Amino acid sequence: MAYLEMKGITKTFPGVVANDDISFTVERGSIHALVGENGAGKTTLMRVLYGMYKPEAGEIFLNGHLADISRPHDSIELGIGMVHQEFQLVPSLTVAENIVLGYEPHKWIWLDSETTQAQVAEISERFGLHVDPDLPIREIPVGVQQRVEILKLLYRQAELLILDEPTAVLTPQEVGGFFQVLKRLCTQGHTIILITHKLKEVMSVCNYATVLRRGVNVGSVEVAESSEAEIASMMVGREVEHIYQKDEISSVVPKLACEDVSALDDRRLPALRSISFTVNAGEILGIAGVVGNGQSELVEVLSGQRQAEGKITIDGKYLSDHGTRFIREAGVALIPESRKTQGLNLQGKVSENLVSNTYYQPPFSKCGILSMDKIFKYGRKLIKRFDIRTESPNAVAATLSGGNAQKIIIARELADRPEVLVAAHPTRGLDISATQFVHEEMLGLRAQNVAVLLISADLDELLALADRILVQFEGRIVGEVDPKTVTYEQLGLLMAGHVNDA
């Protein structure tokens, strides 16, 4: 009998089915990988198991008994523990204090630090997870912090440990040691579910793998009997392609160039490691990769929102170390990743959003005074041209649907033919017709000799639009492929970190 069985789990959020009738089982004492691209539903499924989300349908069985989990407390009681991608540690408290947080040993009203130390030392020893209990969390490296998170689970006597992308914070050297710890935990009777998109990990340490794609369970395999290629293709699937008409590129004129660009993310970990690439005029360069491999940081660097080392130029002119306005004035248009926070002011009017990058120049502005009339007319013009469904340029942006809101951004950035377009997930959350519209606009720019950089998690989109595709993994470009000849398998392998040796 399986240790854990999730049966028919369906979980929806407004507008999207994150988990669609998912069933799978996990054997006791195994390391079970939950694999899939971003948005496949892995984290959602595990949060349902952990009690953070309540599913619309489905049941959870532990050792054959129906489990009633409505909040994390319940799952903790049942011996389930989860280490989230973002650590739940308190920086100024010590390792020991964090491990026992909420369950502190105490004598009457006083903290019992002796017992705390003893207990922490004991589990640390038992599982081979060595930590210095007296150091505050903010002084220990991220890799060690992860050990603390695991110790937290073990202290609360978790038998099933769910780890969400655990190697994201480890150096290659630390990964080996980490796998040893996992193996030891299993021999001691624990069961581990590993959420990951990295095939190497799956192959080297997991016993089983369940692959999710677009909210559906594509299948489970026994790792020893499978291969990277097989799992990769399950992850990525075979979809019907949209074919767009594209002219051939006549000449290669580099427009936007990145040379040895490196940057840190918000956690001060390296997000971009010496990235170099060029986007040529009149081409769409796609960047593929599972979200979280530095793509957000790349967009932030290119738009002047994040500091980086290295050289970024447009037509040979330096963009690096300059602010966003300078970059925009140099002819770079930006479609940012997060529509609502980075791309729009939802409280503002549609017309105001349409001129947020140009308001300070004539004809919109003269001597510090805005010409509301011209702005209004411009708004009307763009609404018509881009078919933005809204009652008037004075409507508040929050009243528009997602697709139309994205059109505002498209209209703003594309209306005045830019030199370069950096587009990050431009069709995320859009329906088919809106998506098609965006695609056609980008192809239109391509025909006008604009250099387009398209970062997307949607492989179909990249294959349909891009002239070349780079794959980004762990902050590096690990490969360049030709969309006309590449297979899904090859893409999947690259995206999962499997780099060809030859």
Q: Residues 464, 467, 469, 470: what is their CA dihedral angle, to the nearest 10 degrees?
A: -160
Q: Does 380 bind another protein (CB under 8 A)?
A: no
Question: Which one of residues 74, 104, 309, 419 is an interface residue with another protein (CB under 8 A)?
Answer: 104
Calpha distance 312→322 (Å, rounded): 10
Residue 149's φ and ψ, nearest 5 degrees, are -60, -40
Binds another protein by CB under 8 A, chosen from 66, 121, 252, 372: 372
CB 424, min distance to another protein, A: 11
Helix axis angle, 432-447 to 402-414, nearest 10°:
10
User: Using the rule CB under 8 A, which residue among 8, 141, 176, 323 binds another protein?
Assistant: 323
Identify which of 152, 193, 209 has the alpha carbon closest to the alpha carbon of residue 3.
193
Cis peptide before 254 (omega within 30 of 0): no
Instruction: Tell me the window of 2-10, 185-193, 368-376, 419-427 that interacts with another protein (CB under 8 A).
Output: 368-376
The size of the chain, in residues, is: 502
Q: Which residue in the set 231, 327, 421, 459 belongs to the binding site for another protein (CB under 8 A)?
A: 327
Q: Which is nearer to another protein, 398 or 432 (CB)?
A: 398
Q: Does 389 bind another protein (CB under 8 A)?
A: no
- Shortest Cβ 248–another protein spacing (Å): 35
Stretch that binds another protein, among 86-94, 207-215, 419-427, 431-439 (CB under 8 A): 86-94
Q: How far apart are alpha carbons 48 and 207 in whole angstroms?
A: 23
Query: Is residue 207 involved in binding another protein (CB under 8 A)?
Result: no
The upper half-sphere exposure of residue 391, i.e. CA atoms within 13 Å in the direction of its Cβ, equals 5
Q: Say which amino acid occupies 67.
A: A
Q: Is 162 in the site for another protein (CB under 8 A)?
A: no
Q: How far is the CB of 170 from another protein (least distance, A)?
A: 18
Sign of CA dihedral 240, 246, 252, 258: negative
The one segment of 54-62, 193-201, 360-368, 462-470 that binds another protein by CB under 8 A: 360-368
**Which of the stretches 3-11, 81-89, 195-203, 481-489 binds another protein when contact is defined by CB under 8 A?**
81-89
How many other CB atoms are there within 10 angstroms of residue 334's CB atom?
25
Question: Using the rule CB under 8 A, is 406 a contact of another protein?
Answer: no
By DSSP bridging, strand 369-370 and strand 365-366 are antiparallel
> Cα separation of 343 and 321, whole Å?
22
Query: Strand 110-111 vs strand 451-455: parallel, antiparallel, or unpaired?
Result: unpaired
Contact residue for another protein among 89, 175, 354, 445 (CB under 8 A) = 89
User: Which positions from 286 through 315 interact with another protein, judged by CB under 8 A?
Assistant: 303, 305
Rounded to whole angstroms, the Cα distance separating 268 from 264 reads 5
Structure tokens at 218: 């594509």
Give the torsion sign (CA, 178, 179, 183, 189): positive
Exposure class string for 183-193: b at 16+ Cβ within 10 A, else e: eebbeeebbbb
| Residue number with CB closer to another protein (101 or 168) | 101
Which one of the spans 92-100, 123-131, 190-198, 478-486 is the region binding another protein (CB under 8 A)? 92-100
Scan residues 407-466 and list those touching another protein (CB under 8 A): 429
Decide if residue 334 touches another protein (CB under 8 A): yes
Asked if 384 interacts with another protein (CB under 8 A), we say no
CB of residue 54 to another protein, shortest distance in Å: 16
Q: Considering CB under 8 A, how many residues would be counted as binding another protein? A: 60
Residues 255-284 that bind another protein (CB under 8 A): 264, 268
Q: Which of 54, 29, 326, 356 is nearest to 207 (CA)?
A: 29
Stretch that binds another protein, among 159-167, 209-217, 318-326, 447-455 (CB under 8 A): 318-326
* Residues numbered 338-357 forming contacts with another protein, rule: CB under 8 A: 340-348, 352, 356-357
Query: Please, are residues 473 and 487 in contact by the beta-carbon 8 Å criterion?
Result: no
**Is 30 within 8 Å of 189 (Cβ atoms)?**
no
Taking CB under 8 A as the criterion, which residues in 56-75 touch another protein? 72-73
Between 33 and 40, whose beta carbon lies closer to another protein? Answer: 40
**CB of 93: closest distance to another protein in angstroms?**
6
Task: Count Cβ atoms below 10 Å from residue 369 Cβ, excluding itself.
Answer: 7
What would the 3-class secondary structure string for 123-136 be?
Answer: HHHHHCCCCCCCCE
> Taking the complex as a whole, how short is the minimal distance between the CB of residue 128 and another protein, in angstroms?
24
**Is residue 172 a contact point for another protein (CB under 8 A)?**
no
Q: Among residues 12, 23, 278, 365, which is the contact residue for another protein, using CB under 8 A? A: 365
- Number of other CB atoms surrounding residue 306 within 10 Å: 18
Largest CA distance in the chain: 81
Which residues contact another protein (rule: CB under 8 A)? 13-15, 72-73, 76, 87-93, 97-98, 101-104, 106, 109-111, 264, 268, 303, 305, 323-325, 327-329, 334, 336, 340-348, 352, 356-357, 359-360, 365, 368-370, 372, 391-392, 394-395, 398, 429
